[in-house]
Amino acid sequence: MAAGRRTIKDVARLAGVSLGSASRALSGATNVSEDTVARVQRAAASLRYRPNHAARSLRSRSTKTIGCMFSDLSNPLYARLFGTLEDRLAREGYMTLISNTSNQLDREIRTLKLFAERGIDALIIAPNHERNRELNEFIEQLPMPYIVLDREMLVKSDTILFDHAAGVTDVVDHLAGLGHERIGLVTANLKSRPGRRRITAFKSAVRAHGLPVDDGNLVLPESSMSSAYDAVVRMLSRKNRPTGIIVQGTGVLSSTMNAIAQLGLSIPEDISLVSIGRADFILNHVPAISTLRIDYETLSNEITARLFERLANGNGRKQMLRRLFPYVLEVRGSSTAPSLK
């Protein structure tokens, strides 16, 4: 066989299969036998053949890539979701690209421009500046399908929203049911939907139990990447400190637990704690941390199903999906009845 750049025709000839079979085997299609896949892969390896993805994209008008733009990957929700999405999409032959914009507007716009320039097939986006007009106008002009994740944008789009109101209410009900009469909240005071909804739901749920909403028991750092250490120390040093707290499961949770330890307090003997989201560093914590979590597998399946539907049927703006996705409260050892001492 002559030297030079190998083509898929060379691979098909060496494997003894048709050009179509060789193409399907190398693209990961399911309608090809295991024997054919093995033969084609051996031939490709022998010839040191590498697919020309740019040429394939021009022919198919698909790059087989999905872009994810998240505002803060220190949030375990986004990190875990990206992991499950990546696995799910890989099974369909797609590569997933991630952009962490660190809550910066210019990075959000720049990321979307780059995704559009590279011809990404579809997007999953959760920007921090959900009500910014410039950002919304740019999103509205995107040529590819996209799903908005837990944001209330100005554009008409497929949207999956997390049910923060029901989730936070479940946690307040849990703590109040254990007998806690002073309940605190430690969460980022975000301008985006999650921050707004959590704070509003917390206050409503506390009032529903006839308990006071004490601003001294609210710690609202600027972002999920901010430390809450000093503010939590002040909150827990008060005479009427909360006996149970709900904490956002990012760096905010880490700094909160450090503050509890610094004050010589114990979980749950002195203070019960429930985390919103399950950060990796608490997996082996003793006692186990009660958690308000998302079912990532189910969520990633719903996201990919909608994206594939859009990719197959076009990116029209009719019959938009608007799904309210539930949280699950897992009660563990960190939340118990308050101490009588």
Q: How far apart are the first and last CA of the chain?
A: 86
pTM over 0.85: no
Rounded distance, CA 119 to CA 98, Å?
15
Superfamily of domain 63-162+296-327 in CATH is Response regulator (3.40.50.2300)
Residue 198 sits at φ, ψ, to 5 deg, of: -65, -45
Cβ atoms of 153 and 130 within 8 Å: the answer is yes
* pLDDT value at residue 318: 57
Which residues are bridge partners to 149 per DSSP?
A: 160
- Residue spans of the domains in the chain: they are 8-51, 63-162+296-327, 164-294
Task: Judge if 63-162+296-327 and 164-294 fold alike in CATH terms.
Answer: yes
- SS3 for 282? helix
State the angle between helix axes of 19-27 and 34-47 in degrees (0 to 180), rounded to the nearest 10: 90
Cβ atoms of 65 and 47 within 8 Å: the answer is no
Task: Give the pairing of strands 290-293 and 328-330.
Answer: antiparallel
* pLDDT value at residue 109: 92
Structure tokens of 198? 């959590």
Topology of the domain comprising 164-294: Rossmann fold (3.40.50)
Which distant-in-sequence residues (6+ apart) come within 8 Å of 308 by Cβ? 92
* pLDDT value at residue 27: 67
Which distant-in-sequence residues (6+ apart) come within 8 Å of 142 by Cβ? 112, 116, 123
Number of Cβ within 10 Å of residue 110's Cβ equals 13
* pLDDT value at residue 226: 77
Predicted confidence pLDDT, tens digits, the chain (341 residues): 444 567 888 888 999 988 778 877 776 665 678 888 889 889 888 888 866 554 444 444 678 899 999 988 777 778 888 889 999 888 888 999 999 988 889 999 999 999 988 889 999 999 989 999 999 998 988 888 999 999 999 888 899 999 999 999 999 999 999 999 999 999 988 778 888 899 999 999 999 999 999 999 999 988 777 789 999 999 999 999 999 999 998 788 999 999 999 999 999 999 999 999 887 778 789 999 999 999 999 999 999 988 888 888 765 555 788 999 999 999 999 999 998 75
* pLDDT value at residue 18: 84
